[in-house]
Amino acid sequence: MNTEMKAIVVDDHPLIAMATKSILEQIQGVSVMGIAKTGTECLELVEQHKPGLVMLDYHLPDQFGSGVVKQIKMRYPGIHVVIFTGIDVADMYNHLIELGVSGIISKESSESVIQNMVRCIMDNCTMLPLPLYRNMRLMTSTPLPDAALTKDEVRIMSMLMRGATHEQIAQEIYVSKRSVDNYLKKIYEKLGVKSRVQALEKFVQSKYYNEMDRSEA
């Protein structure tokens, strides 16, 4: 096992962040270098400290955890990222693992479970909950083709990515809130999802998100 590992905690809830920091610092060899509240702050701390481990909340104020993982792994593929979340990410297990996360764990897990996972990672292993392990299909899964979204639908999804409310979207594109709701129902049907989180995750994986990234670069 490696004797020393620098870590960063990323969570916008101060009490949870401090509790996570305390749990990690009880592990021999782990030093928490800082706490970030957003994806942007996380990337800044990663650049500054070059940690071995990032404990990353999935739902951040400025972006989703998957986008942060992608950016970290592009710059520093050797950094371990653990998705530490209070929401159900079951539909995104495969995608997150394909992005390169070293573990996925619930915030409801006990201190000992969290610490055991980190110790496994320090030993270049991982630990997965049995339901996750049984549902994994990395070897057989094939990516679905991108759904055909209209220009307006892509614009709406892009605004959702930035945290816009339905009311704000309606004002921006000069339609009623009900029209925005109808747009989203059609988008959900096209993407084969049932929730906003699932839709945004599918959008992040699509060609439209990559094209949006390039246009804003």
Is the model more confident about 93 or about 169?
169
> Cβ(83)–Cβ(107) under 8 Å?
no
pLDDT in tens, 50-69: 999 999 998 888 888 888 99
DSSP strand pairing (80-85 vs 103-106):
parallel
DSSP 150-164: -HHHHHHHHHHHTT-
- Domain boundaries along the sequence of the chain: 5-135, 151-216
Counting beta carbons within 10 angstroms of the beta carbon of residue 211, is it exposed (0 to 12), middle (13 to 18) or buried (19 or more)?
Answer: exposed
Share of the chain above pLDDT 90, in %: 35
Taking 60 as the threshold, does the pLDDT of residue 192 lie above it?
yes
Is the model more confident about 149 or about 216?
149
pLDDT grade, residue 81 (50/70/90)? very high
Query: What is the pLDDT at residue 89?
Result: 63
Assessment of whether the complete model's pTM goes beyond 0.85: no
Q: Which CATH number fits domain 5-135: 3.30.390.50, 3.40.50.2300, 3.30.43.10, 3.40.1030.10?
A: 3.40.50.2300
pLDDT in tens, 105-135: 888 889 999 999 999 998 888 877 676 666 6
pLDDT grade, residue 145 (50/70/90)? low
Query: What is the pLDDT at residue 21?
Result: 96
Contacts of 109 (CB under 8 A, 6+ apart): none
φ, ψ at 214 (rounded to 5°): -70, -40
pLDDT, average across residues 6-17: 95
Query: What is the pLDDT at residue 150?
Result: 87
Taking 80 as the threshold, does the pLDDT of residue 217 lie above it?
no
pLDDT, average across residues 143-152: 70
Helices 65-75 and 196-205 meet at what angle, rounded to 10?
A: 30
Query: What is the pLDDT at residue 158?
Result: 85
pLDDT grade, residue 141 (50/70/90)? very low
Q: Which CATH number fits domain 151-216: 1.10.10.10, 3.30.200.20, 1.10.1740.10, 1.20.1440.230?
A: 1.10.10.10
CA 128 to chain centre: 17
pLDDT grade, residue 84 (50/70/90)? confident
